Amino acid sequence: MSTIITGTGSYIPSIVKTNQSFVNNSFYAENGELIATPSEEIVEKFKDITGIAERRYADANENTSEMATKAAVLAIKDAGIDPETIDQIIVAHNFGNVLAGTIQTDAIPAIASRVKNQLGIKNPACVAYDILFGCPGWIQGVIQADAFIKAGMAKKCLVIGAETLSRVVDVHDRDSMIFSDGAGACIVEHSDDSNTGILASSVQSHCDDETYFLYLGKSYHPEGEEATRYIKMKGRKVYEYAIKNVPIAMKECIEKAGVDIHDVKKFFLHQANEKMDEGFIKALFKLYGIKEIPKDIMPMSIHELGNSSVATIPTLYDRVKHGFYKEHQLHKGDIVIFASVGAGMNINAICYKI
């Protein structure tokens, strides 16, 4: 018995925001002081550090739930299943629906309930619920689906990661350039083939000093509204925390699966920072005493799609699976790792055999 991904789908918003879109912004530091460095230099340095050249924003008429539904439709079609046979709809997000021009989070009803409604699923035994787990939310949703399936409480689950971060960013904060919008989905099903699917998972929550590395705070602009809150990030602390702990979690997952590191074909990592992801892989292989890292082992979408939080990994996996990146091919029997890190602070990983 195993749990396998039988279908994937993703929705990439149409609005492209290049780095040049931010050169006229006035950036302020956390203490409210104007950053004297010209915005052009800030933007250029940002690209060097993160690898992001452009990102996607949702159209004013699109919401998180609608993007989630569009990705779900594609995943259902890819899996070739009847939507009425889905036992659970699990949607990972952080802010629910945020209407364009507002900053207010709307998660009542749950995004999963809205997706079920938009899919037209009538079956009351199809349970729809949301999870909040920071950027690792989609992976956590798959881990939960796996647990329900192996417990005999579900046979088919729809797991979605969707977010419209562009609507909760402070335009006066340099970190706002990281975030983007998107949605990715997958169908997870029971299989009698024990030689495939999810081999192992690993999850960690560090909620001591790390709890508020990502949080909601007021604008860095000194005249910003005190009552309005935006997504904020202690970038250096997040980096230091992640570069230390993510490789450990991935190694734990690989060892639980009984897999040789040399047999891992691809790493699908949360797309937050190009250099950080490269650091994860180097640190992981170093834990095994390996200096030479195989080429083309880590697909990346951050350059053109930015950081869409819970949507980054399912979107990337779907695009690789369907041949969007020609240099990255997946084959039956390949072993891949999904791993993410985010607010909480939370880390998780899955070892999966295609």
pLDDT for 165-186, tens place per residue?
999 999 999 999 999 999 999 9
Which single residue is written with the structure tokens 């005999």? 152
Q: Tens digit of pLDDT for each residue in 312-333?
A: 999 999 999 999 998 899 999 9
Amino acid at position 273, single letter:
N
The pLDDT-based confidence of 22 (bands split at 50, 70, 90) is very high
- The pair of structure tokens assigned to 180 is 């983007």
Q: Tens digit of pLDDT for each residue in 78-136?
A: 999 999 999 999 999 999 999 887 777 888 999 999 999 999 999 999 999 999 999 99
Q: Do 11 and 182 form a contact (C-beta atoms < 8 A)? A: yes
Q: What is the mean pLDDT of residues 228-256?
A: 94
DSSP string of 41-88, one letter each residue: HHHHHHHHHH--SEEEE--TT--HHHHHHHHHHHHHHHHT--GGG--E
Q: What is the mean pLDDT of residues 183-199?
A: 94
Q: Tens digit of pLDDT for each residue in 250-309?
A: 999 999 999 999 999 999 999 999 999 999 999 999 999 998 899 899 999 999 999 999
* Nearest Cα residue to 42 out of 174, 197, 230: 174
Which CA distances in Å does 22 have to 45, 138, 231, 264, 276?
A: 13, 29, 17, 38, 23
Q: Taking the alpha carbons of 23, 306, 204, 335 in that order, is the dihedral positive or negative? A: negative
Which single residue is written with the structure tokens 């909620």? 207
The residue annotated as part of the active site, out of 19, 94, 135, 186, is 135
- For the cut 90, the answer to whether the pLDDT of residue 156 exceeds it is yes
The residue annotated as part of the active site, out of 270, 273, 328, 346, is 270
The residue annotated as part of the active site, out of 94, 273, 307, 348, is 307
Which single residue is written with the structure tokens 């993410």? 340
Backbone angles phi, psi at 334, to 5 degrees: -65, 145
- Give the list of residues 6+ apart from residue 329 with CB closer than 8 angstroms, or none: 323
Per-residue confidence (pLDDT) for residue 195, from 0 to 100: 85
- Give the list of residues 6+ apart from residue 255 with CB closer than 8 angstroms, or none: none
Query: What domains are defined for the chain?
Result: 2-193 (3.40.47.10), 198-353 (3.40.47.10)
- The radius of gyration computed from the CA coordinates of the chain, to the nearest angstrom, equals 20
CB 9: neighbour CB atoms within 10 A?
26
- For the cut 90, the answer to whether the pLDDT of residue 348 exceeds it is yes
Q: Do 43 and 177 form a contact (C-beta atoms < 8 A)? A: yes
Model confidence, pTM: 0.94
Q: Tens digit of pLDDT for each residue in 31-77?
A: 999 998 998 899 999 999 899 999 999 999 999 999 999 999 999 99
Q: Is 307 a catalytic residue?
A: yes
Give the dihedral of Cα atoms 5, 277, 246, 93; nearest 10 deg. -50
Q: Is 135 a catalytic residue?
A: yes
- For the cut 90, the answer to whether the pLDDT of residue 16 exceeds it is yes
Q: Do 39 and 27 form a contact (C-beta atoms < 8 A)? A: yes
Burial-class residue 36 by CB neighbours within 10 Å (0-12, 13-18, 19+).
exposed
Q: Is 270 a catalytic residue?
A: yes
Q: What is the mean pLDDT of residues 10-19?
A: 96
Per-residue confidence (pLDDT) for residue 104, from 0 to 100: 79
- Integer Cα distance of 86 and 157 in angstroms: 6
The pLDDT-based confidence of 352 (bands split at 50, 70, 90) is very high
